[in-house]
A and B are shown apart, each in its own frame.
Chain A
Amino acid sequence: MSILPKTNELGFFEIRLESIGGLGANLAGKMLAEVGALGHGLNAANFSTYGSEKKGSPVKSYVRFCDEHVHIRDHSPIEQPHVIGIFHEALYKMVDVVSGLRPDGIVLVNSVRSAEHIRRDLRLSYGTLAVVDALGIAVEEKTKVNTAMLGALFRICHFLDPEKMKQVIRKTFEKKYPHLVEANIRTFERGYEEVRFYESEKPSVEEGKPFSRPYPLFGYETQTIGGVIVTNGNSVLKDLSGSRQGFLPKWEEKDCIHCAACDTVCPDFCFVWEEGEDRKGRKQMFLKGIDYQYCKGCLKCVEACPTNALTQYREQIGFAEAHTVKRMSV
């Protein structure tokens, strides 16, 4: 008798974790799969896909579970998961995170917002929504988001024993960082306890959202030969605001002395300057503001600022859009 609540045509119960590099989603996927494989006798596979492996860029981690005698031969990414775990809420701006969710699927989101707002932004009209403030828990416990998310995932994957995960946490930390054991176990337990479930108000659907495979912009008839790019500078089209992990620099013009220390240290060219005249009528460069589309929230500028013009700010949804300053020319 299988412990898995449901499986697809190949016998798999599938989970997809959506995150950005640096939040530990890969590790969470690995631990989840490991507990299933080694602690519950399930057969399992776990892998991830990522861009160029840089911190802050989108990553996906996959877990396939099946009964012990079922072979796992498929290597391809999971397109129609039963569970989707979203570690970083702002990701929906860059990635269709709920693509392919099964009709009776569950989406877990790390968020403090209302279920209604989350459903709207994710364009999620069906399935169960699970919400946990993993970041809040991690900040309070001085631990990591992924451990709180794991707690919530274990609640969702009720066929897995949370005690086994706690043993893994204990084993992972007790040798090198014994002082972190209890905080991490608390983080896991709080994720498990504090996750809230919201069923869709709509009647259940027959089919989930179809998965859309991303297609390349150009094909063999439209690529320039040799892979040459002839539109230099087109990376300005990218939106990197999803890389921020909760903080951004806030600029107060009145305190700014336009010294350019911020501009000198910014890795992402976010500071927008314009020529103007100073009080004596001489031509001078003036800082006009920050283009938050490219700001990854490293806060080097806050450190570099010799006045209080730049300060660290806990990002609220909508702040960046309201305060961004676009450059006239790039």
Chain B
Amino acid sequence: MIEQVTTFESGNEMAALAAAQINYHLMGYFPITPSTEIAQLLDQMKARGEHDIVLIPADGEHGSAGICYGAAVMGARVLNATSANGLMYMLEQLPVQSGTRFPMVMNLVTRSISGPLDIRGDHSDLYFALNTGWVILTARTPQAVYDMNIMALKIAEHEDVRLPVIVAYDGFFTSHQKRKVQYFKDRQVVQAFIGERPTHFPNASDPRKPVTIGAHMNGDDLINNHYQQSEALYRAAHVFQQVAKEYAQWSGREYPLLDLYKMEDAEVALFLINSAAETAKDVVDQLRAKGIKAGVISPNIIRPFPSEAIRQACKHVKVLLVGERADSYGAHGGNMTHEIKSALKEDPYNQTIVLTRIFGLGGKDFYPDDAKEFFNIALRTLDKGFAEKPFDYFGHMPGDPQQKWEQVIEPMYGDAFKTGLIQVIEDKETKRLKVKLPPLRALTAKPKRLAPGHGACPGCGIFPALELFFKGIEGDVVVLFQTGCAYVVTTAYPYSSHKQTMIHNLFQNGPATLSGAVEAFFEMKRRGDIQVSDDVTFVMITGDGGMDIGMGSAIGTALRNHKLIMLEYDNEGYMNTGSQMSYSTPIGHMTSTTGVGKTQNGKAFHHKDTPQIMAATNIPYVFTATEAFPQDLIKKAAKAQWYAQHEGTAYGKLLITCPLNWKSEERYGEKIMKAAVDSCFFPLYEVERGKTTITYDPEEKNKRVPLQEWLKYMGKAKHLLKEENRELFASFEQEVERRWHRLKAMHEHPYL
């Protein structure tokens, strides 16, 4: 046996370790819980110089799949990792990858797909992958995650297969639980096991051998292409067995098609994918001690589906309960139920009664007593001799009829949010708006739009900024929050911190969704279908990188110029998912995917200038603001409202502190914002009907401070002040200076 080391790690750690040992050429990724750790861990290892994988943070999962496909057609070894809606967003790309037959490996860290949004584990994402033409391996334990990640690439590249492979394991249960695991001490062993990268299949890397990849076909040809693919996928079962056998010789760990636990003479059995099967094994032991012939079947591979092995395993099983962590709505059973039933149908002598129970959705825990109850259901069915209820959910509850929704605060609308204290007047000559504000003290009379009791971190900068903005907005609002911290901490079911109507949609689609809402609202109003006041203001709120993945939707909405406001709270990272870099992270700043170490120094490129991108769509109003300049922020909100009501789209960026991930003192939030403005990193300005105005010029006020004065507050940036990072700092400083000078020129010249 080859030398292995024992360690104590989680599933995600083992996936990252395997990838580092394989030393893939490239990984394209986009952060999504609970798979994100893989990219983070690989970034850390890379900072330490432990592998050479090119890590590319994409603009969304669709982009990540594109990056991976591009690398795969080059003939490179490629890795991706995702979960839930990340898989859904890239779904279109998966059959492209398999249908054009370019191998790669993707870890699918399973999680419930929206909606409603739920970050924890079930198999609803996995079931969507079933029809993509990818090989799918299922890993029950952190050990299996490591082992299958190594086997996966060998299977994918095998000449009889040439297909991409998913390694699926349970989000949190397997991805985050630490267990004792073994790995090969020497990564060359791993590389030797997988073997040399096959180079004799066509790819795009050799100009001497030009190829056309992705020609379109008609049905006469497509059916032949798909037949090839179908055959290749079936062959993958045999290749899996071969590879697993060889792997067992190297590692001592075996992976048959089906993991069968005490199935030799089992009369009642459970079929469970992944971690739940492990829990059920303990219960089997208890039942066996009582003389009950119980067993558990759990697949190691579900694409291709091991039909023959299922038939063999169920030969003597009288009742099989298929526990499924996802439904196939309306199909009288989840996907596994139907595949098992159709496998058994091929055996004319099979008498097994098959039951389905949909359980453990959204990460709902599966306790040993749940497994016991599954067996009880199977045993009762055995007694009866038929299935009383073949299909049902498990663990759902009707709820206490006495428990009513209680209105804790009276709904607030209309005049409740009209103070009359804020006046916006259009200057007909200059074509600009003038705003009159009372002192902040007077505005404390205006109720806040959000209720206290939200779950943000202490010192969170989002809420002061949002409330200052809303102070400038008079009358009713409909808000849409894209996924992000502000959404997550204000809407944990069944609690809401929103006083007025709040709509959520996923990370990349807020602007489009709100544009539909606003147009429908006014059309229904025009037709007289709804009787409401027409001064409702529509506000889309995004942050945590939402202007990366949602950029297309934002630009489309701006170009259509709907009457709404897009408001971005910029915390310079994907803070909601654990501080991964976003395109607005400044250069050199440390995040969980741009580590600081031997071989790299934080983020590699400059921060995105979103206000300028939005200004280029020629919407009537663009602004920047921050809580450290409250009057300035409120005025801009009032202007944004005026434009959203009279002309079209307004966009605003609010810089905010994230003490947790900026590694700054909670209490200094406002000071940090002030330094960001006074150092000209974040100039306060507006672009009103195309005319740029700097609304606060620190130079004019004699308040300008060096960039260091801002950076010194933040643990994520302190290293930039060190002597050895002088060049990096200078590059940052120059970029800040360049953008500031450009802005000043725009301020001075009406046509810039």
Closest to B275 in A: A75
Contact A222 B180 (CB under 8 A): no
- The answer to whether the Cβ of B457 comes within 8 Å of any Cβ in the partner chain is yes
Minimum C-beta distance from B456 to chain A (A): 6
Residues of A within 8 A of B490 (CB): 235
- Bound Cα distance A242, B442 (Å): 32
A265 beta carbon closer than 8 Å to chain B = yes
Shortest distance between the CB of B395 and any CB in chain A (Å): 11
Return the chain A residue nearest B276 by Cβ: A75
Instruction: Tell me the A75-133 residues at the B interface (CB within 8 Å).
Output: 75-77
Let me know if B445 and A231 touch, CB within 8 A: no
- Which residues 43-87 of A sit at the B interface, judged by CB distance below 8 A? 43-48, 51-57, 71-77
* Cα distance, A268 to B454, chains bound together (Å): 7
Cα separation A31 to B366 with both chains bound (whole Å) = 26
The yes or no answer to B191 lying at the interface (CB within 8 A) is no
A45 x B670 contact (CB < 8 A) = no
Interface size class of A (residues with CB under 8 A): 35 or more
Interface string of A236-252 (1 = CB under 8 A from B): 11101001110000000
Cβ of B499 < 8 Å from any Cβ of A? yes
Interface of B is mostly: loop
Contact B279 A76 (CB under 8 A): yes
Residues in chain A near residue B174, CB distance under 8 A? 75
Complex interface: chain A residues within 8 A of B452 (CB): 235-236, 268-270, 291, 293-294, 330
The stretch from A157-165, A177-185, A213-221 touching chain B is: A213-221
Give residues 279-305 of B contacting A (CB, 8 Å).
279, 281-282
A320 interface hit (Cβ, 8 Å): no
Q: Which residue from chain B places its CB closest to the CB of A73 in the assembled complex?
A: B278
Do the beta carbons of B670 and A236 come within 8 Å of each other? no
User: Is residue B365 contacting chain A, with contact meaning CB distance below 8 A?
Assistant: yes
Residues of A near B440 (CB, < 8 A) are: 259-261, 263-264
Question: Is B578 among interface residues, defined by CB-CB distance under 8 A?
Answer: yes
- Kindly state whether residue A30 has any CB partner on chain B within 8 Å: yes
Given A240-B455, A259-B441, A285-B444, verify A217-B403 contact (CB < 8 Å).
yes
B116 interface residue per 8 A CB criterion: yes
Q: Is the CB of A57 within 8 A of B455?
A: yes
Q: Is the CB of A75 within 8 A of B177?
A: yes
- In the bound complex, residues from chain A placing their C-beta under 8 Å from that of B400 are 219, 222
Distance between A263 CB and nearest chain B CB, rounded to angstroms: 6
Cβ of B660 < 8 Å from any Cβ of A?
yes
B178, B408, B442, B578: the one contacting A45 at CB < 8 Å is B178
Q: A303 at the A/B interface (Cβ < 8 Å)?
A: yes
Asked whether any CB of chain A lies closer than 8 Å to the CB of B405, the reply is yes
| Contact among A22, A244, A260 with B444 in the assembled complex (CB-CB below 8 Å) | A260
Q: How large is the interface on B (under 10, 10 to 19, 20 to 34, 35 or more residues)?
A: 35 or more
Q: Which of B37-45, B75-83, B458-466, B506-514 is the interface stretch?
A: B458-466
User: Are B492 and A52 neighbours in the complex by a CB distance under 8 Å?
Assistant: yes
A297 part of interface (Cβ distance < 8 Å): yes
How far is it, in angstroms, between the C-alpha of A76 and the C-alpha of B172 when the chains are bound?
Answer: 11
Distance A109 CA – B411 CA, assembled complex (angstroms): 43
Contact A300 B401 (CB under 8 A): no
Determine whether B406 belongs to the interface, using a CB cutoff of 8 Å to chain A. yes
**Residues in chain B near residue A73, CB distance under 8 A:** 278-279, 281-282
Tell me if B710 is interfacial: C-beta within 8 Å of chain A: no
A211 to chain B, nearest CB (A): 11
Closest to B407 in A: A231
- Most chain B CB within 10 A, of A34, A71, A236, A302, is at A236
Chain B residues with Cβ below 8 Å from A43 are: 180
Residues of chain B contacted by A76 (CB below 8 angstroms): 279, 365-368
Assess A231 versus B406: contact at CB under 8 Å? Given A55-B660, A298-B458: yes
Q: Is B160 an interface residue (CB 8 A)?
A: no
The A147-169 residues at the B interface (CB cut-off 8 A) are none
Query: Complex Cα distance A154/B126, Å?
Result: 41
Contact of A303 with B671 at beta-carbon distance under 8 Å, contacts A76-B279, A222-B400, A275-B445 already known: yes
B496 within 8 A of A: yes
Query: Shortest distance in angstroms between A142's beta carbon and chain B's nearest beta carbon?
Result: 15
- Shortest beta-carbon distance from A293 to chain B in Å: 8
Which of B178, B405, B411, B444 counts the most A-chain CB atoms under 10 A from its CB? B444
Q: What distance in Å separates the Cβ of A35 from its nearest Cβ neighbour in chain B?
A: 9
Verify B116–A227 contact, CB threshold 8 A: yes
Most buried by B among A75, A217, A234: A75
Q: In the assembled complex, which residues on chain B have CB atoms less than 8 Å from the CB atom of A284?
A: 441-442
Residues of A within 8 Å of B177, CB to CB, are 45-47, 75
Chain B contacts for A145, CB-based, 8 A = none
Contact status B492-A51, CB under 8 Å? yes
Say how far B468's CB is from chain A's closest CB, in angstroms. 7
- A287 contacts across to B, CB distance below 8 A: 444
A236-B451 contact in complex given A76-B279, A285-B444, C-beta closer than 8 Å: yes
Interface pairs (14), CB distance under 8 Å: A33-B8, A46-B177, A73-B278, A75-B174, A217-B399, A220-B396, A231-B408, A233-B409, A233-B412, A236-B452, A267-B456, A269-B451, A297-B458, A299-B666
Please list the residues of chain B having a beta carbon within 8 angstroms of any beta carbon in chain A.
Answer: 6-8, 10, 115-116, 119, 170, 172-174, 176-180, 275-276, 278-279, 281-282, 365-368, 396-401, 403-409, 411-412, 439-445, 447-448, 450-464, 467-468, 485, 488-502, 578, 627, 630, 659-660, 666-671
Besides A47-B178, A76-B368, A237-B453, 7 new A-B residue pairs in contact (Cβ under 8 A), listed by A number:
A33-B8, A75-B276, A222-B401, A265-B670, A271-B444, A298-B666, A299-B667
